[in-house]
Amino acid sequence: MELKSLQDIGEAMVTPGRGILAADESTPTCAKRFESIGVESTEENRNAYRDMLLTAPGMEEYISGVIMFDETLRQSTLHGNVPFPEHLSSKGVVPGIKVDMGAKVLANSPDEKITDGLDGLRERLIEYYDMGARFAKWRAVITIGEHIPTHYCIATNAHALARYAALCQEQGIVPIVEPEILMDGTHTIEESYDLTIETLHTVFYELASQGVQLDGMVLKPNMVLSGYECETQASVEQVASMTVDCFMNTVPAAVPGIAFLSGGQSDELATAHLNAMNQIDGKPWNLTFSYGRALQAPALSAWGGSAENVPVAQEAFMKRAKFNSLASKGEFSADME
């Protein structure tokens, strides 16, 4: 079925029991992942790897959308030579595209980042829509450290996220709005909570200011966690409670869904946190996943660059996808691991 409106597409991306596969690693990032398994990062190998994920039998049961890199959007399946956007659409999976150009140093604040990519974005979105993309992704990076983040960093990134979102909706593309507070550091979960609140308030102020249709977007935020180097790590229950509370205080009910990033958590912990959040009642939006490494890591390792390993790798991918599908409904149990 052809999804016509922004609202239809947004709701399809966050339907209960399905989540978004982030397969939009840039070529340098992909090279690092491949290096970890001793595989050369050629276009041919990258195509074979993406094909392994996107043609996994039954993946559409757990995956609602796939974020692709520009190169991937232009590639095709190994068997049948079907363009990936067309292949995904035929399975009822929404094709998406990463459109930002990465985080660069923020002028006058060398320890902070601003995301590039607004120049020429309208023209790129027109091309991507013609190629079959129906949603896009833009990531803003907020770092916690000594005297940072500054309000200047939060405000400029929020403004850019809203400009991107408005341009997407103008072209019939649903924007994934991704303000990511990095969890590297020694900060407590309380500091993480306060900064996530400030960031989301600022982001939604900018989205409203620029006329972004809230029921035609998807939010992709960080979970509220203790800094990874913090001596006291919050429990799964505390993370779930503080994260849901944070979003209840900042995210309008009109937003159809929140698709969390994993942000460097282990595969198991990202699933456990999502599951615990979905066991809390009274939320106005669907909470699901938009994981990259936390969905792909076991599959990448099992694949190892060999065509004969594809079935085993697909099985590993589907196992994590199924666990996160259950977690998006609050039905996962750690015993399943």
Rounded CA-CA distance 226/217 in Å is 28
Does 220 participate in catalysis according to the annotation? yes
Say how far apart CA 232 and CA 222 lie, in whole Å.
19
Whether residue 194 contacts residue 240, with contact meaning beta carbons closer than 8 Å, is answered with: no
Between CA 337 and CA 334 the distance in angstroms is 6
Residue-wise burial string across 75-97, b where 16 or more C-beta atoms lie within 10 A, e elsewhere: bebbeeeebbbebbbeeebbbbb
What are phi and psi for residue 21, nearest 5 degrees?
Answer: -85, 120
Q: Give dist(CA 191, CA 261) in Å, integer.
A: 19
Strand duo 63-68 + 19-23: pairing? parallel
Catalytic one of 98, 113, 137, 220: 220
User: Can you tell me the distance from the alpha carbon of 266 to that of 59, in angstroms, rounded to the nearest whole number?
Assistant: 21
Instruction: For residue 16, give the amino acid letter.
Output: P
Residue 2 is a catalytic residue: no
Task: Tell me whether strands 103-106 and 109-115 are parallel, antiparallel or unpaired.
Answer: antiparallel
Catalytic residue among 178, 237, 315, 319: 178
Distance between CA atoms of residues 115 and 102, nearest Å: 5
What is the separation of C-alpha 298 from the centre of its chain, rounded to a whole number of angstroms?
18
Task: Give the catalytic positions in this structure.
Answer: 178, 220
